[in-house]
């Protein structure tokens, strides 16, 4: 039976690669993001029979509830929820104030995941999967502190959710990637020097790509990973050790 897989931020980068991995299995993916045109492009790439675009700003509780209503009406359940939407306000345009930096990163990385998960919670099927995208910054810092702090907040949320849902065979896991290329994450702010530095910190000597994260997400959603829950899984080519 094909699974119903909701991927926030599924129109670009890691989220799109995750969606592709599930579509290859014949699953139905629901892509959530703010930009309708970006989502529609992704649907065209994945196939309109396999993917559905649902534009929503997940920092808004009403919009998250709208996603829930649509998914409930169309599919009636969620088998896999991938909370991938997020970003680092420090990498956006302009110079945010301290307050904008910290509240912005909290909203973008914590609220998006919590509001969507809580909205979809009663639709989660027994034996389902919840994944949350954290970052290497949550386990070792790096940058302004606010982005890593926001990602780290997802960890105890995942532990509590795993405790609540475990009896129903639902697992909850966190994926913490290191530097992943070919996404919109860094905007125009990645320099050649910074890129070389980040690659130099890996033990594998290469950049991470969205498929590195997607293959872990895909496996964590498989029956073979049924006894793995409340864990932080790092995908960084050993970069946490490499500095």
Ligand X SMILES: NC(=O)c1ccc[n+]([C@@H]2O[C@H](COP(=O)([O-])OP(=O)(O)OC[C@H]3O[C@@H](n4cnc5c(N)ncnc54)[C@H](OP(=O)(O)O)[C@@H]3O)[C@@H](O)[C@H]2O)c1
User: x/- site string to ligand X, residues 27 to 66, per CB under 6 A?
Assistant: -----xxxx--x------------------xxx-------
Q: Does 234 bind ligand X (CB under 6 A)?
A: no
Residues 192-231 that bind ligand X (CB under 6 A): none
CB atoms within 10 A of CB 38: 19
Of these, 6, 51, 87, 148, which contacts ligand X (CB under 6 A)? 87
Q: Is 157 a catalytic residue?
A: no
Using CB under 6 A as the binding criterion, the count of chain residues that bind ligand X stands at 29
Contact string (CB under 6 A) for ligand X, positions 120-149, x = contact: -------------x-x--------------
In the numeric block, the tokens 């599919």 are attached to 75
Instruction: Judge contact between 236 and 177, C-beta under 8 A.
Output: yes
Point out which span in 18-26, 156-164, 181-189, 221-229 binds ligand X (CB under 6 A).
Answer: 181-189
Residue 129, strand partner residues: 80, 171
Query: Which residues lie closer than 8 Å to 124 by C-beta, 6 or more apart?
Result: 77, 78, 81, 130, 165, 168, 170
**Nearest to ligand X of 13, 128 (CB atom):** 13
CA distance 29 to 32: 10
For the chain, give percent helix, strand, coil, nearest 5.
Answer: 50, 20, 35
CA distances to 30, 58, 167 from 40, rounded to whole Å, are 11, 18, 37
Pairing of the two strands 78-83 and 4-8: parallel
Q: Which residue is nearest to ligand X (CB)?
A: 13
Asked if 104 touches ligand X (CB under 6 A), the answer is no
Interacting residues with ligand X between 11 and 30 (CB under 6 A): 11-15
Which residues does 74 contact at the CB level (< 8 Å), separation at least 6?
52
Q: Which of 184, 191, 219, 226 binds ligand X (CB under 6 A)?
A: 184
Q: How far is the CB of 125 from ligand X (least distance, A)?
A: 23
CA angle 80/232/24 to nearest 5° reads 35
Element (H, E) at 139: helix 137-140
Exactly one of 43, 80, 85, 174 binds ligand X (CB under 6 A); that residue is 85
| Active-site residue set | 147
Q: Which spans of this chain sit near ligand X (rule: CB under 6 A)?
A: 8-9, 11-15, 32-35, 38, 57-59, 84-87, 108, 112, 133, 135, 177, 179-180, 183-185
């Amino acid at each position: 039976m094909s699974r119903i897989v909701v991927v926030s931020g599924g129109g670009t980068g890691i989220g799109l690669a995750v969606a592709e991995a599930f579509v290859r299995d014949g699953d139905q993916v629901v892509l959530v993001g703010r930009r309708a045109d970006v989502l529609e492009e992704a649907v065209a790439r994945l196939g309109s029979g396999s993917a559905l675009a649902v534009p929503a700003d997940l920092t808004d509780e009403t919009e998250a509830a709208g996603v829930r209503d649509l998914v409930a009406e169309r599919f009636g359940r969620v088998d896999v929820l991938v909370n991938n939407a997020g970003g680092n306000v420090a990498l956006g345009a302009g110079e945010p104030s301290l307050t904008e930096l910290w509240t912005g990163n909290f909203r973008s990385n914590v609220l998006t995941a919590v509001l969507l998960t809580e909205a979809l919670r009663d639709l989660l099927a027994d034996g389902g999967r919840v994944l949350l995208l954290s970052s290497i910054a949550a386990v070792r810092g790096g940058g302004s502190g606010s982005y890593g702090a926001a990602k780290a907040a997802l960890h105890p949320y995942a532990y509590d959710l795993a405790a609540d849902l475990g009896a129903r065979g639902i697992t909850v896991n966190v994926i913490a990637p290191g530097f992943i290329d070919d996404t919109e994450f860094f905007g125009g702010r990645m320099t050649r020097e910074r890129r070389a530095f980040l690659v130099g910190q890996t033990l594998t000597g290469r950049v991470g790509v969205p498929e590195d994260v997607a293959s872990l997400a895909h496996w964590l959603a498989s029956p073979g990973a049924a006894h793995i829950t409340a864990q932080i899984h790092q995908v960084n080519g050993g970069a946490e050790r490499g500095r």
